[in-house]
Amino acid sequence: MVTRYGTTDPRASAGGAGPPDGRRPEPADRPERTPDASRFVLVGGGQVGRVLAERLADRWEVHHVDTEPTAVADPAAHEATHATDLTTTSALAAADVTETDTVVVLTGNDGRSLLVTQLLRTAFDVGRIYVVLGDPRNGEAFDLPGVEVVCTAEVLSAAVLAASTGDRSRAPAGPTSTVTGADSTVTGADSTGDRGRSADRG
């Protein structure tokens, strides 16, 4: 099942003139975006995905699709969709995914993320995908054209090291598409991507 939530114009809460009747804002109603900026689609992430969507929405058009209802409820400045299974064409189609979008996959499960990534490439022809990876040993499975990996373990360890030493040069600079010590298969996940897990956080 897929449920889509609209947005209200953030200018309305600040005393500006927003769209009437709480309807989804039309392009002319929305805040001015950076010229020729890409549209971002976030797949999963729960509350972390919601915060990321809110921050990106300051500059770009953003759509967040997630299995966690509270993560997509009442979006302030972006669009959001609740889906019971992120590894389906219908869930991604509800977010109006196109080949020009930049998609961030952060499902919290590397097996599920791989399924979503493959679907984005084959069914939607998306050319720019960032995958938040939990286990660096799974990096090789995401060695695909147009796919870049952000490993949470490496980013976290670099951030902790930078904070403990006071050396800001060690802080993570951004996404990396190279993961060392990777296996050719995705570990820590079954082949179905845990579709039936009731506690799925995105």
CATH number at residue 134: 3.40.50.720
Asked if residue 167 belongs to a domain, the reply is no
CB atoms within 10 A of CB 43: 33
Asked if residue 76 belongs to a domain, the reply is yes
Mean pLDDT, residues 20-46 taken together: 61
Check whether 22 has a pLDDT greater than 60. no
Domain of residue 107 covers 36-151
Asked if residue 17 belongs to a domain, the reply is no
Residue 138: C-alpha distances to residues 35, 89, 103, 126, 135 (Å): 36, 24, 19, 21, 6
More confident residue, 194 or 83: 83
pLDDT digits (tens, 9 = 90+) for 97-118: 999 999 999 999 999 999 999 9
Check whether 200 has a pLDDT greater than 70. no
Asked if residue 63 belongs to a domain, the reply is yes
Reported confidence tier of residue 201, pLDDT bands at 50, 70, 90: very low
Q: CA–CA separation, 101 vs 190, rounded Å?
A: 28
pLDDT value, residue 161 = 82
Asked if residue 125 belongs to a domain, the reply is yes
Asked if residue 55 belongs to a domain, the reply is yes
Asked if residue 146 belongs to a domain, the reply is yes
CB atoms within 10 A of CB 197: 13
Domain count within the chain: 1
pLDDT value, residue 4 = 57
Mean pLDDT, residues 131-158 taken together: 90
In degrees, to the nearest 5, what angle opens at C-alpha 46 toward C-alphas 105 and 19? 95
Asked if residue 127 belongs to a domain, the reply is yes
pLDDT value, residue 13 = 35
| pTM of the complete model beyond 0.85 | no
Two structure tokens written together for 57:
């929405």
